[in-house]
Structure 1
Amino acid sequence: METQAWEAAQRWLADQGVSRVRDGWVSIEAPDVLLTADQVAQSWAGGVFTEDMRAADQVRLAFGLLDLLDAYWVTCEMRFADRGPEGPLPADALWGGYRRRLEADRDAEALTYSLWVDWFEDRGTAATAFAEVLGNDIDRVVAEPSEALLRRARRVLECSGPVPWPVKEPAYRTAVRLPALHSALFGGLRASYHDVHGDLEPAAASALLDRLELPADTEHFAELRHVLAAGHQNHYRSPHAWDEAVRTGS
C-alpha cells in the first residue's frame, strides 16, 4: 500500500462527507446508514475523474482509493475514464500503478480480477494491458528475478487466460525458462483452456506444458495434457473433451 496515496484518498473522501467508522463507512448525508467499502466505491469513485486536477493526479488518487477500499469497482472507474471521451489516461500513471501494486506483498485480488475480466477479455485492450503489466519486461523478470517481480509475474500469468495467444506466447516462452514461474505458467495455460474467453494454440501450449517442472501430483496436469494433445483449443468449444480425459484417467 502506498501510504501517501491512501492518505490522500481518505482526505478526499472526507471532503465528500464520507468517513470511516468502526464497522464500515458513513456519509454526512445519512450518518445512520453504515456503508461497505464497495458501496463507497460505487457511489464516489467516479467522482475522482471529475476533479479539476491533472489526469495523472486523478489516477494516483483513484489508486489511493483502491488502496483504501480494496474494492474492484475503483478499477472499473479507472477503465471507464481510460476508455471514455477524456481518455486515455496517462499510461505511466495507470500501468505504473498496476505494476507497483501487483508487486506488493498484500492482497491484489481486485487488480487481478480487473485484468482478467476487463482489460484481458477485451480484444481492444488485451495486448496493451498484458504488455504493460508483464510482456514488456518478462525478460528482466527472468534474468534478474526478485520477490517483487516474481510476485507480479505470477499474478499476471495466472489471470492471463483471455489474452490472445499470439500476444502472450512470447512471454510464456520466456517464463518457462524460470522454474520459479512454472506453477503460475501452468495456471495460465489451464485458464487459457478453461476460461470462457480463454485462448491458446494446442500444439504450442502442449510443448510448453511438457517443459514445466511441477510436482507429480499437480491437479489437472494429465487432463490438460490430454486435451491439448488431442488438439482442443477451449473447454467450451469441446465441452466433452475434458470429461473424457477425466474418465480415462489421462
Structure 2
Amino acid sequence: MEMQAAEAARRWLADQGVSQVRDGWVSDEAPDALLTTSQVAHSWAGEVFAEDLDAADQVRLAFGLLDLLNEYWVTCEIRFADESAKGPLPADVLWDGYRRRLEADRDVEAVTYSLWVDWFEDRSTAATAFAEVLGNDIDRVVAGRSEALLRRARRVLECSGPVPWLVKEPTYRTAVQLPALHSALFYGLRASYHDVYGDLEPAAALALLDQLDLPTNTQHLTELRHVLAAGHKNHYRSPRAWDDAVRSCS
C-alpha cells in the first residue's frame, strides 16, 4: 500500500515538473540545480492540498509524498491543512495513514517525530491522536500480538511522553500485560519524566515501572525509580533531582 502511494506521489511530482535523478531531485524550471528531499518537501508538499481532489485523496497523496521523501515537513503540511479554514481533514483517512506507517517495517522517524512534537505536545490534540494511533487498539494489540501491531505500539509508547497522564495511563496499564512491550513502556515512562512537556503521576508511574521485566542493567532504570519514589513529576520542575538520583545510585 505504501509503495503504491509513493508511486502515485512520484507521478504527481512528475506532473509538477519534478523528477528524481541519481543524486537527488531536479525540476524542469532549473534542471541544473540539484534538489534535496527536504527542498522538494518544502516547495511542493503544501501544493498537494491545492489539488482538485477531494480531501481524502489529498491526504492519501500527501502520505504518499511522505513515503517517497521521508521528510518531516510533509507531516507539517498535513497538520497545517487539518487546521486550515478548509479543515479538519477526514479523520479516518488521516489516522489510518499514521497507523499504517507506524506498522511498517522501515524507518518512520518522520512519523514518530510528528506525533511527538506536533500532535502529542499540543493538549488540544494529544488525547485524540493518542487514542487513534494506539489507545483505541491496545486491547487488540495485547490479544493479537501481530508483529505489525506490536511495532506500532512500541513506536507510539516510546514517543508518548507529552501525552497527559490521565489519557495514556489506561493504555500503559493494559500494555504492561505484554512483556514484549515492557522496554517501550520504560522509554515512555522515562520520556514522561524527562520531556519538557512530559506528564506523569509519580506513584502510579512507579507502580507501573515496578511491573516491568527489564534487564537489571537497563540504563537510567535505577535513577528513574529513585526520582519517582521521591515524588518528582518532571525533570524540568525539579532539575536537581535527577543529578541527586545519579549520585545516590552510583
Equivalent position of 2:86 in the other structure: 86
Query: Aligned residue for 2:64?
Result: 64
Equivalent in the alignment of 2:201: 201
Aligned counterparts of 2:199 and 2:2: Cα–Cα separation in 1: 34
Measure the CA separation in 1 of the matches of 2:123 and 2:107: 27
- The whole-number CA distance in structure 2 between the counterparts of 1:171 and 1:83 is 27
In structure 2, the partner of 1:238 is 238
Match of 2:144?
144
Q: Secondary structure at the match of 1:197?
A: coil
In the alignment, the residues of structure 2 paired with residue 77 and residue 47 of structure 1 have an alpha-carbon distance, to the nearest angstrom, of 9
Distance in 1 (alpha carbons) for counterparts of 2:242 and 2:32: 52
Q: Which amino acid aligns with 1:168?
A: K
Match in the other structure for 2:165:
165
Q: Which residue does 1:126 correspond to in 2?
A: 126
Give the CA deviation at 1:248. Answer: 1.1
- The 5 A counterparts of 1:1-250 are 2-249=2-249
CA distance, structure 2, for counterparts of residue 33 and residue 127 of structure 1:
43
String of CA shifts for 1:8-66, please: whole Å, max 9, x gaps: 10010011111001000011111111111011000000000011111000000001000
Residues 198-236 of structure 1: CA distance to partner in whole angstroms, max 9, x if unpaired? 000000000000000001100000000000000000000
Q: What is the DSSP-based 3-state SS (H/G/I as helix, E as strand, rest coil) of the residue aligned with 1:32?
A: strand
Distance (Å, rounded) in 1 between the aligned partners of 2:128 and 2:108: 20
Q: List per-residue Cα deviations over 1:153-202 (Å, max 9, x = no partner).
A: 00000000000001000000000010000000000000000000000000
Q: Distance in 2 between matches of 1:85 and 1:65?
A: 22
- Distance in 1, matches of 2:247 and 2:203, equals 23
Amino acid at match of 2:175: A
Q: C-alpha offsets along residues 80-138 of structure 1, whole Å, 9 cap, x if unaligned? A: 00111111111111100110110010001000000000000000100000000000010
In 1, Cα distance between equivalents of 2:150 and 2:119: 21
**For 2:196, what is the secondary structure of its paired residue?**
coil
Q: Please give the alpha-carbon distance, in whole angstroms, between the structure 2 residues aligned to 1:4 and 1:105.
A: 16
Task: Supply the distance in 2 between the matched residues of 1:191 and 1:3 (Cα, whole angstroms).
Answer: 32
Partner Cα separation in structure 1 for residue 220 and residue 3 of structure 2 = 41
Measure, in 2, the Cα distance between the counterparts of 1:35 and 1:159: 31
Counterpart code for 2:89: L
- Tell me the distance in 1 between the aligned counterparts of 2:120 and 2:85: 21
Q: Secondary structure at the match of 2:239?
A: coil
Q: Partner amino acid for 1:187?
A: Y
Poorly superposed stretches of 4+, deviation over 6 Å: none
Structure 1 alignment gaps of length 5 or more: none
For 1:210 and 1:63, the matched residues in 2 are separated by: 39
Distance in 2, Cα, partners of 1:143 & 1:22? 45
> Partner letter of residue 53 of structure 1?
L
Aligned to 1:31, the other structure's residue is in SS state strand
Q: Deviations over 1:128-151 (max 9, x none)?
A: 000000000101101111000000
